Structure 1
Amino acid sequence: MSPRPADPAVRGRLVEAAARILAGEGPHALTARRLAGEAGTSTMAVYTYFGGMEEVRGAVRKEGFARLAADLDATPTSDDPVADLVAAGRAYLSNGLANPHLYRAMFLEKPIDDAAAPEGEAAFQRLVEAVRRCMDAGRFDPVDPMGLLGWSVQLWTMRHGLVSLAIAGLLPLEHVPLHFADMSTRLFVGYGDSREAARRSVEQGMR
């Protein structure tokens, strides 16, 4: 009798359950027995899909970055690179707020290895290229590679800070877009954009 084929739905439930456990109780609570119980399956199923808890934790981070990449891919591109930068920021915020357990595993828990490092680096490089596009269009002042990297870190820090505060319950959800729009405008002006142009682009990107 041939073995039953692996069911992607079961693997997905295990990843989601692992994310909830990690977010709520930390790595020490993630055991095969606990994970199986949370996912409504057997401990045998855990080892059917994963080699152990380290692999489970890596899969949680990879799933988080995969969902973020999908949301960023779905963000349309326009002829206004600054508006597109804002729209991508909105997608990042929405992703983090919609997937708080995965977000915690991606960014708020120390990784056990570099299993998701390529995915995380790819996500950050998207931001770097978006900032470079604004610079190439003449909206932001020209800077050297370290300046470009610095601006990208600042923008990521803004996004990350807003999501982190919101999922921790320290910032009301309805305040997130207000702060995001205001901080984006101020940063863009600091990068060389005119206040009026920055305001228009932020309004467009927030729609």
Structure 2
Amino acid sequence: MSPRAADPHIRTLLVEAAARILAEEGPAALTSRRLAIDIGTSTMTVFSRFRNMAELHSAVREEGFSRLNSRIDELPATDDPVADLVATGSVFFASGVDNPHLYRAMFLDPPPEEDALGAGTYERLLDLVRRCLAAGRFTDGQDNLAPVWAAQLWSMRHGMVTMTVSGMLPSEQARFVLDDMTFRLLVGYGDDPAHARESIERGRVHAA
């Protein structure tokens, strides 16, 4: 057996290799033999970590959401809910651009049946929108609009990540567009334009 099979990080190596294969070649190319060759180990090592390729596919999504949520967890909770909302958007964008293969498995490929991994991430966004409403920053709506606005913010962020990882927009240009769209949405939700700009700058600093 290859010496790399004893690597304590072998599971992560397998997940990252699987994400790359899925993104570049599709599910048909994901086999235990291909994985073993890619990371220099044996098929026995693959099956000692995962029962089958379906379980490995799920692990790719789990890893992606785990990394994203860990980065969000590192953000400070401040007394400016709009800045906190912006910071999560910056982290979402950066996480997607930094992990394009994982991002594809998370948001572009069809999820396995009964997979609800993205629900928790969406709920976190929804909670932040409700904080902005409760703080009086979003004055042009009521709580029943919070899910709609969360979906709009999610779609905006997802679109910018997708355009960046596909090569349609350079990263810095996409960040500019993201900030501009965020500003226009915040003002549309009723936030004061000057306060919105201050919170966008503050949120970007917190996410850096």
TM range (shorter): over 0.9
Q: TM-score, normalised by structure 1?
A: 0.93
Q: What SS is found at the alignment partner of 2:97? A: helix
2:164 to 163, 166, 169: 166
Give the aligned residue type for 1:68. Answer: L
The total of aligned residue pairs comes to 200
| 1:121-160 pair list within 5 angstroms | 121-141=119-139, 142-145=141-144, 147-160=145-158
| 1:1-207 pair list within 5 angstroms | 8-115=8-115, 117=116, 119-141=117-139, 142-145=141-144, 147-207=145-205
Q: What SS is found at the alignment partner of 2:9? A: helix
Runs of 5+ consecutive residues of structure 1 not aligned to the other structure: none
1:169 to partner: Cα distance: 0.3
Give the aligned residue type for 2:194. Answer: E
Q: Percent identity?
A: 52
User: How far does the alpha carbon of each residue in 1:12-57 deviate from its partner, in whole angstroms, 9 at most, with x for none?
Assistant: 1100100000011111110111111112211111111101000000
1:6 to partner: Cα distance: 7.6
1:112 to partner: Cα distance: 2.6
1:144 to partner: Cα distance: 3.6
Runs of 5+ consecutive residues of structure 2 not aligned to the other structure: none
Mapped contact 1:97–1:166 kept (Cα < 8 A) = yes
The two structures, once aligned, show a CA RMSD in angstroms of 1.4
1:8 to partner: Cα distance: 4.1
Q: What SS is found at the alignment partner of 2:119? A: helix
Deviating runs (4+, > 6 A) in structure 1?
Answer: none
User: How far does the alpha carbon of each residue in 1:73-114 deviate from its partner, in whole angstroms, 9 at most, with x for none?
Assistant: 011121111011101111111111111110011011112323
Q: After the TM superposition, which of the residue ranges 160-169 and 29-38 deviates more from structure 2? A: 29-38
